[in-house]
Structure 1
């Protein structure tokens, strides 16, 4: 079956985050992905339980209501062949016993009525208003049928019922203020009542191999932000059943300790590390056996006698020691921290991840739309915690992240007012601080663009009729892209061993854009393969998206050279900062008319100042001078691009 985009109150939205992967087992109401519009961000839940068969969209895709997002394989479709395979593995003399056991687990012999509360789920805000009640007492409703519409200042969301049945009572009315956990309606539903069989079959002696009906996945060490760490504690044992995101082990560096979660639910088949073992990214931690059937068999207690007997022949039950360990394990977050987390704008999957990793969401820098915390923000916070130096216990002013001492007290000099930087400026601070480690040099030159500007003047009216603005930057980007193919080191990266250079196969050029929030650098893809007209159109589009705050993460990634221009603001030259991991950046100052000696007299020429900053570890001064000299010749006569 396919999970489709629901009605989220807007014509179209962008896929901001995909929360599952192929092979994952999802339950009803599990969040699958995040859709964002310019008004809100909404997590799309699964309307059925099953295994993710395929993901039909990608991050950054634009979707509308009804578009297929995820294809699920239902649990029944998975368990039916599993049951047949299980039977085929058992000798004929024992097959009947296993068949009775499976039926005892799967097929209930009686039913009973039960009234269940349907509550407000986590809708990403602290409270919302009931805008409309969509059902009435006595209505028969299906699971996932919308029952009420709630509104906040960020979004309008239809809340679905988690179960099917008959509406017994309605606990709210239009205009009520509700929050997570408030009861909306009570539903009378029919539930299965298992009947214990009086038959006591002989237990099957031989263990039935579960691998015939399940798949095994290997959990590896994720990117911890450090080169290596030690396994300080193993939290599970072979045979344990673990949930997705349940911690498997604790690894420690000299800076911090982090719990590593399981990527999927299943049974621990093997543990590949030991205490105090040194591990690094990619090393296998454990093997998890993933199966809907295995998960059902792993549920201990409260099972009929026959079913319990057969279960022990298929998979080991979770040891009592494991549950004791889990209950004895201290909570990672205090109640106060949990309450603080509830006030932060984040989805259920992110909140669960924060609980698993012991992260206080209020301390995490949000990069999602409208200040929403996403999974990548939590991982980045954990990585920062791992790599950040521990504060020295001293009463003196401790150095801040930049390496500078704390600010002095200015009270005696009139004081001051602390004003927060924009979020974009705050995010830029760590990246700009990396420039402290780059031995940077700047090469200055002047390009004669008299003829180029005259040609642009002839073309711009035609471009304007087509709705395009033709700027000098489009010509410069094309010329630089052409030159980077000849001088690949300027578009390369210094390797981690600092003994080699990574040369890129493609040109992706960052173009700095000034916005009210600060400077942002969207990426122009493959300008060497595009015409001046195509480049002009894409530059206009990227600039508008930057000013409208609609750039996606993909729009900002992958650049291997940057151009930054002062436009017509003013100035004669400047030293732009190399944007690590790049090794060069070109700065452009406003062009001015200057007298240039032609051998007989002075001619008025339009001269464009160029400022090329470069990482001296990769690029020599002579190479930089040659680069800018070639660029001035290309800009003086753009026809050289055709040669």
Structure 2
């Protein structure tokens, strides 16, 4: 074996200790000059360390996770001029030239000795370099250089794909020689989001590159009972999983003093025909907050934010078969008694399994109330394509400082989950603060 030469990290600017994220070659691989050996990823960019000359990789000096700087040794390469022809994996030994020879395979043709015999004093390899045989242009074959290693894509495209959670091994490139472009990655993501049958990632995570779900024989540990999920649980479970995975949730917690509201509500219970629950007041208060902060009454449509001029409020209803969210339409045009009556009707329809698909469409904002059960706070999952949801827990009497003394007040815990792509934290805090003001002083609903 001839003397091996080092392939080092070239000038990479001010970056130091840059981690290795991909190995593009293995010992024994034949490489061409400027072919990538490994991929580095800094805080600013992704870059390949190129081979400084043609040859055969004899030893890799790095592994994934190693941190390299300018001048670090990446690999030991036997230069092509010194490497025996039989050592190269993709290259067959060059045939003996003859006048009848047609040139052989594409790769061999490039390395073939010219038909005119070289002088005895000239090395065959030198003749190849000086006067290489010209062959017709052929398509660049990435598999011949990197068989089974990585998809053929630039470092920038690989970085773009990683940021979106896309496994490039599932894509077919549209550019020359199957090279994957940024547009290919974008098309794959759009197909996945549209339910276009895009294949799942190898880990079974639907593009999130998750490890497979654990398979456990629970019966080994004791007695079990297997119970199938209801149809509602299957549908809502899939929607909730998608929404939680695809929407960047943030939850803002706040308290509302509803002492006066509850006193007013209980006085209204004299009307025995319709029961007015605290949820009715929440609906009216939410509508007032949506009018003041219209970005909460919106939906994302690609790069556009669709601001809605109507106020349809979804109400999460717990049923024996699972959670459903019927919608009360035009809540801004209805009074407390009318809302109370409609709320009672849709809740009864939900529990009797009489809701139609139309009853659960068109919502702008949802409310999930656990006040009748308990708890002090939770993180409700946004009901896409909405951008926010309000969760309320059980109210409780708490001592509140009024400037002179602590007084008992009825406090309602609120949990607002919002889509951080549309709403920032300051807007969410203003929304819940205004909501608490409205619930604390119902006269604000008249303003």
Match of 1:551 among 341, 349, 355: 355
Deviation at 1:491, TM superposition (A): 1.1
Paired with 1:412 and 1:572, the residues of 2 have a C-alpha distance of 38
Alignment deviations for residues 50-77 of structure 1 (CA, whole Å, 9 cap, x no partner)? xxxxxxxxxxxxxxxxxxxxxxxxxxxx
Match of 1:530 among 307, 331, 334: 334
Q: Is the 8 A contact 2:201 2:207 kept in 1?
A: no
Q: 1:552 to 1:631 in 2, by over 3 A?
A: same
Q: Does 1:577 align with 2:385?
A: no
Paired with 2:251 and 2:204, the residues of 1 have a C-alpha distance of 33
Paired with 1:512 and 1:586, the residues of 2 have a C-alpha distance of 10
Alignment deviations for residues 430-466 of structure 1 (CA, whole Å, 9 cap, x no partner)? 211222111111111110110110010100121x1x2
Deviation at 1:495, TM superposition (A): 2.1
**Equivalent residue number for residue 506 of structure 1:** 310
Match of 2:229 among 412, 421, 428: 421
Paired with 2:335 and 2:378, the residues of 1 have a C-alpha distance of 29
Q: 1:398 to 1:600 in 2, by over 3 A?
A: closer
Q: Does 1:405 align with 2:212?
A: yes
SS where residue 619 of structure 1 aligns?
A: coil
**Equivalent residue number for residue 263 of structure 2:** 454
Q: When the two structures are superposed, what TM-score results if normalisation uses the length of structure 2?
A: 0.54
Match of 1:479 among 276, 285, 290: 285
Q: 1:534 to 1:404 in 2, by over 3 A?
A: farther
Match of 1:469 among 275, 287, 293: 275
Paired with 1:555 and 1:509, the residues of 2 have a C-alpha distance of 11
Paired with 2:405 and 2:317, the residues of 1 have a C-alpha distance of 40
Deviation at 1:388, TM superposition (A): 4.6
Q: Which runs of 5+ in 2 are unaligned?
A: 1-169, 172-193
Deviation at 1:422, TM superposition (A): 1.0
**Equivalent residue number for residue 416 of structure 2:** 612
Q: Does 1:389 align with 2:199?
A: yes
Q: 1:416 to 1:538 in 2, by over 3 A?
A: same
SS where residue 610 of structure 1 aligns?
A: strand
Q: Does 1:634 align with 2:441?
A: no
Q: 1:398 to 1:576 in 2, by over 3 A?
A: closer
Q: 1:619 to 1:390 in 2, by over 3 A?
A: closer
Q: Is the 8 A contact 1:515 1:547 kept in 2?
A: yes
Deviation at 1:496, TM superposition (A): 1.2
Q: When the two structures are superposed, what TM-score results if normalisation uses the length of structure 1?
A: 0.38
Paired with 1:569 and 1:456, the residues of 2 have a C-alpha distance of 20
Deviation at 1:414, TM superposition (A): 3.7
CA RMSD of aligned residues (A): 2.2
Q: 1:404 to 1:461 in 2, by over 3 A?
A: farther
* Correspondences of 1:84-163 after superposition (within 5 Å): none
SS where residue 387 of structure 1 aligns?
A: coil
Q: 1:429 to 1:597 in 2, by over 3 A?
A: same
* Correspondences of 1:62-81 after superposition (within 5 Å): none
The structure having more radius of gyration, on CA atoms, is: 2
Deviation at 1:567, TM superposition (A): 2.4
Paired with 2:355 and 2:200, the residues of 1 have a C-alpha distance of 35
Q: Is the 8 A contact 1:490 1:561 kept in 2?
A: yes
Deviation at 1:401, TM superposition (A): 9.4
Q: Is the 8 A contact 2:199 2:206 kept in 1?
A: no
Q: Is the 8 A contact 1:570 1:589 kept in 2?
A: yes
Q: Is the 8 A contact 2:380 2:389 kept in 1?
A: yes
Q: Is the 8 A contact 2:200 2:207 kept in 1?
A: no
Paired with 1:619 and 1:409, the residues of 2 have a C-alpha distance of 41
Deviation at 1:418, TM superposition (A): 3.0
Paired with 1:560 and 1:436, the residues of 2 have a C-alpha distance of 20
Q: Which has the higher strand share?
A: 1
Alignment deviations for residues 211-255 of structure 1 (CA, whole Å, 9 cap, x no partner)? xxxxxxxxxxxxxxxxxxxxxxxxxxxxxxxxxxxxxxxxxxx99
Q: Is the 8 A contact 1:527 1:535 kept in 2?
A: yes
Paired with 2:278 and 2:287, the residues of 1 have a C-alpha distance of 14
Deviation at 1:535, TM superposition (A): 0.6
Deviation at 1:599, TM superposition (A): 1.2
Greater relative contact order (CA < 8 Å, ≥ 6 in sequence): 2
Q: Is the 8 A contact 1:400 1:406 kept in 2?
A: no
> What number of residue pairs does the alignment pair up?
253
SS where residue 376 of structure 2 aligns?
A: coil
Alignment deviations for residues 71-97 of structure 1 (CA, whole Å, 9 cap, x no partner)? xxxxxxxxxxxxxxxxxxxxxxxxxxx
Q: 1:623 to 1:589 in 2, by over 3 A?
A: same
